[in-house]
A and B are shown apart, each in its own frame.
Chain A
């Protein structure tokens, strides 16, 4: 089996327009959640989110491109450009043929759907723009990344709700590890912050009106975010031969299904995914210094996740640091695991653990070291990144310092 390393990273999210800005915000424990701004927001009862503000797509894309790029595709392309630039790779010939793209998303071009349903149902129009379908389809982002970067190998989209990005990165990892591909661009992208997108979430009654407070006893729900993260996963010898800077190693991955409930999480399913990732990575529990939690800030997720970590890590759970960066950037749904992987890379490369901000009251059911409110300096050599989706689908990545 080949070894897999990360040689490039890119992002856009409520905390920043690139990796440097995002990591700076995570170090400072800055909150990117604010009042939502879009049409009909006054008809919502939930009006906060981790929205990318002051973003002008025309500075990055021309008119013809914008006719085809939903906001989630734009986010994916901006992140991919940053990641590929950092990696120093260009794709042509044989390398292009054996390199591809796997991206996660949950809603795909939801904003495009929302705008066009409004136009035909509410405004009674009988004609829509010719590119509605290619703009809204879930694989649009992956396809446009493959076109812009000339990646001609396996390219597809994974949609497993809140675990989409982790499943996508797990697939990309396995494809490079098996020798099927030399390089994969992977991660995820999401942009559901529109009237219909938030209205649907509102219905489930799990959203907070006032803030995301993971692991805090006074938490009262999740807050949605938007954004993307894209990484260059590269076969280790390939990266070494060209003298690439290695950000970290992807060491293992596991996925499980709870097979129990469509929305309530299960401790066993999550614990099996964590243990599976350790086993796949050949990583001892004692090695794990940091876990980027799924940590949504709902009553159910946070206590179940803490119990699962305690089960899977045993005594090491008293020593491990675990934080949820969702309190800062919001829950980026199908893109969230990718944005959160940045906190894992920061822990491994810079020895800085991103905090769980808005932690106001300890909860006896979340009695782990959740790195409350302030970032912490700590040497860690191995980390995990958790994602647990509606549908009971769990995906956990294990990473090691380069």
Chain B
């Protein structure tokens, strides 16, 4: 899967969750910037898992301590690429 495809899919998922246009979602936006609350975040992560057929280690009790960095769209995209690579090997 190309980098552009991953990025576009993630932006589409987050934009839908935030009820924004994909063009309003930039790579440095945080979920909070987009108006995505904790429940919305859990739902977005589920949608990402379904879209890429990966399993994301995320616990809502300690979102900052997860290996999966959700601080911005860019870090989410990077995390997904790592997981796709790792979980393809598994």
Report Cα–Cα, A276/B39, bound state, in Å.
30
Contact of A208 among B38, B42, B58, B61 (CB under 8 A): B61
Q: Is the CB of B46 within 8 A of A221?
A: no
Chain A count of residues within 8 A CB distance of the other chain: 17
**CB of B59 within 8 Å of the partner chain:** yes
Closest to B56 in A: A205
Chain B residues with Cβ under 8 A from A207's Cβ?
59
B62 touches A299 (CB 8 A): yes
In the complex with contacts A203-B46, A205-B45, A220-B62 CB distance below 8 A: yes
A254-266 contact mask (Cβ, 8 Å, vs B): 1 or 0: 0000000111100
Of residues 9 through 62 on chain B, the ones whose CB sits less than 8 Å from some CB of chain A are 38-39, 42, 45-46, 55, 58-62
CB contacts (< 8 Å) of A300 on chain B: these are: 61
Q: How far is the CB of A365 from chain B (nearest CB, A)?
A: 13
Q: Do B42 and A219 touch (CB < 8 A)?
A: no
Contact check, B59 vs A221: say whether CB atoms are below 8 A apart: yes
Q: Is A89 an interface residue (CB 8 A)?
A: no
Let me know if A204 is at the binding interface, CB within 8 A: yes
**Chain A residues closer than 8 Å to B60, beta-carbon distance:** 204-206, 221, 298-299
A219 CB → nearest B CB, Å: 7
- Contact string, A347-386, partner B, CB cutoff 8 A, digits 1/0? 0000000000000000000000000000000000000000
A56 to B54, CA, bound (A): 40
Q: Nearest chain B CB to A260's CB is how many angstroms away?
A: 12
Q: Are B61 and A263 in contact (CB under 8 A)?
A: no
- Residues of A209-266 at the interface with B, using a CB-CB cut-off of 8 Å, are 219-221, 261-264
Distance, CA A205 to CA B45, complexed state (A): 10
Chain A residues in 8 Å Cβ range of B62: 220, 299
Residues on the B chain within 8 Å of A208, using CB: 59, 61
Residues of chain A within 8 A (CB-CB) of B45 are 205
Q: Which 3 A-B pairs have the closest CB atoms?
A: A299-B61, A205-B60, A221-B61
